[in-house]
Amino acid sequence: MSYTVTRHDDATALLAAAEPFLLQREAHNSLILGVARSAARGSRAESPPPAAALSHR
């Protein structure tokens, strides 16, 4: 099994790519969904955290 790490420019792009998958098991993924949604709404940190998604093919 191989994996691909995709780095996204921001949380909005990360959510566009990963939210449908994360919502399949929303209870298990609620923390990352909440953090990503907050970041996408514009909550800012000193320096933005990396936004990456791991997938396998």
Q: Which residues of the chain have pLDDT under 70?
A: 43-54, 56-57
What are the residues facing 8 on neighbouring strands? Answer: 51
First-to-last alpha carbon distance for the chain, in angstroms, is 7
The neighbour count for residue 52, using CB atoms within 10 Å, is 12
- C-alpha–C-alpha distance, residues 35 and 49, integer Å: 10
Q: Domain range holding 40?
A: 3-56
The pLDDT, as a whole number, for residue 19 is 94
Model's pTM, two decimal places?
0.64
Cα gap 22→26, rounded to integer Å: 6
| Number of residues in the chain | 57
Residue 13, classed as helix, strand or coil, is: helix
Split into its structural domains, the chain has a count of 1
Q: Give the pLDDT score at 7.
A: 87
